[in-house]
Amino acid sequence: MSQQAAAQPKSVLRGHRTQVHATTFIRQNQRLASGDADGFVVLWDLTIMRPRAVWRAHTAAILGISGWGDDKLITEGRDNRLIVWKITPADEEKLSTDLPLDESAPERPQPWILNILEINTMNFCSFAQCSPRPDTDLSISDELLVSVPNTLLTEAVDIFHLPSQNRQSTVHLGSKTEKKGMVMALTLLWRHESLFLLAGYENGLAFVARRRHGGAWDILYKYQAHSQPILSLDFGPDKEYFITSGADAIIAKHPIPHANATTPLFPVSKATETLKIGLNNKAPEGLREQPTNANSSLLSAGLAATPTPTAETPPRGLPKKVTEVETSPLKIADTKHSGQQGLQIRSDGRIFATAGWDSKIRVYSAKTMAELAVLKWHDVGCYAAAFAVLDAGQKDASEDSKDSPQKSALQRPTKSIDDPYTMRRKDTTVTTTTRPGELSVKERRVKMAKKAHWLAAGSKDGKISLWDIY
């Protein structure tokens, strides 16, 4: 029986002089932004596989990079700075395309800086971001929430508002005596009109916390699946779960619990129930409250006609509700491969990928946690992995092969372009005539960039491999 050839990257982007620490797709997958250990950012045009903008964003290694709409890019560096850059397609024309490998290049101009936030980057923890309101699309929002490790307490988390740069919360997870170490990975999200914080720690603990209306935070979930530091985490598109990976060989799937909003805010004691029943019995018969069903508590029935107190201001004599903390993960898998980071779940929620210190990119099923593919091209460790965002049409099409994702991946053509940047730029000067209704060469390339199921992997060798898979 013939053995099928190993998958190869569709393209390899060369240009960074040092290891690539972060990658992200922006502008409907037409651009890939990458950051390296020297603080350089390269904005790659994926329609032609060449750089559109290169600048040194930080004086130290880049820890995180993310898009904000179509005209802003956020970078975080080890120089204790988080910077928001304004970069539009028109701005790209004014910037350098000299890659970091070219040490003889003149000083590269920077894009316009919108905000600089002084933060703590001693943790090697990348920032997280989300909209400041649950009903606002981040791609069109002019405001942003970012979470970063606290400046003084490495186990605490600060949440800032941009562009005001005001600190809205400082979150302390767990008790003061608990030895968690530094916070290593963060995520912010809205769910059921509530702001949630997911955090992974140096000792392997994972937390889920929810902000109450008064600003206090409740811990809803806590579990230590890892014996070594958590390096990355990401949540599923349905916001029901999140997955962690770390310096050990464990990959863990955790729930994102949400307390029912109709649950009584305070624990009901037998004495309190008796008191409320007595008060109800003294009321005129026509004003007495009756339980609506067998499952309704007598206390809630007795209080139905009265204002409900908030968790921040309980009535005198009644204790505050103690939120029950869940401690059961959904699934734990021992992959036998230690050192996996850059974990990202694809936008359709079917698969996730990790970047391995052993130089391999691994693709897993988000449902079963089973390993689906091992992508091997780099010779040294990988640090970053990123999926292109699939649109609705792509998600529907991908469902056709959900029963056999590995088969569809292996049957996909895997022609490799060894080094597209060193090829001549013939495509920029060729003029062709197209028939009415037919797409031009440029339009076809843009369409291909938007529709491709890209998986980008950044490595210690300074190269980025692009895979079109699943």
**Residue 396 CB contacts under 8 Å (≥ 6 apart), including other chains:** none
Query: What are the CA-CA distances from residue 55 to residues 96, 100, 183, 288, 427 (Å)?
Result: 7, 8, 29, 72, 25
Of 214-228, 298-312, 349-363, least confident by mean pLDDT is 298-312
Q: Nearest-CA neighbor of 200 among 139, 126, 289?
A: 126
Considering 37-51, 401-415, 449-463, the range whose residues carry the highest mean pLDDT is: 37-51
Identify the band that residue 395 occupies on the pLDDT scale cut at 50, 70 and 90: low
Q: What percent of the chain has pLDDT over 90?
A: 61
Work out the pLDDT band at 98, boundaries 50, 70, 90. very high
What does the mean pLDDT of the chain come to? 81
Is the pLDDT at 84 greater than 60? The verdict is yes
Residue 420: pLDDT over 60: no
Q: Average pLDDT, stretch 52-61?
A: 97
Confidence tier at 297 by pLDDT (50, 70, 90) = very low
Q: What is the pLDDT of residue 330?
A: 96
Q: Where are the alpha helices (DSSP H) in 216-362?
A: 270-282, 298-302
Q: How far is CA 72 from CA 94, 120, 140, in A?
A: 16, 22, 11
Is pLDDT of 131 > 60?
yes
Q: Which three-class secondary structure string do you get for 282-298?
A: HCCHHHCCCCCCCCCCH
Query: Does 267 score more than 90 pLDDT?
Result: no
pLDDT, tens digit (0-9, with 9 covering 90-100), for 238-252: 999 999 999 999 999
More confident: 423 or 127? 127
Can you tell me the mean pLDDT for 289-314? 41
Instruction: Identify the weakest region by mean pLDDT among 127-141, 288-302, 336-350.
Output: 288-302
pLDDT of res. 268: 39
Strand order in the sheet with 360-365: 340-345, 351-356, 360-365, 371-376
323: which 2 tokens? 């939120």
Instruction: State the Cα–Cα distance between residues 187 and 199, nearest whole angstrom.
Output: 7
421 vs 147 pLDDT, higher one: 147
Percentage of residues of the chain with pLDDT beyond 70: 74
More confident call, 367 vs 410: 367
* pLDDT band with cut points at 50, 70 and 90 for residue 284: very low
Least confident stretch, 24-28, 84-88, 256-260, 314-318 = 314-318
Q: Where are the domains of the chain?
A: 11-261+326-468, 273-322
Residue 184 pLDDT greater than 80, yes or no: yes
Token output for 428: 């920029």
Across residues 93-118, what is the average pLDDT? 94
The whole-number pLDDT of residue 342 equals 96
The CATH number of the structural domain formed by 11-261+326-468 is: 2.130.10.10
Cα distances (Å, whole numbers) of residue 162 to 83, 130, 194, 213, 452: 11, 11, 19, 20, 32
Choose the most confident range, by mean pLDDT, from 201-205, 317-321, 398-402: 201-205
Give the tokens for residue 466.
Answer: 């692009």
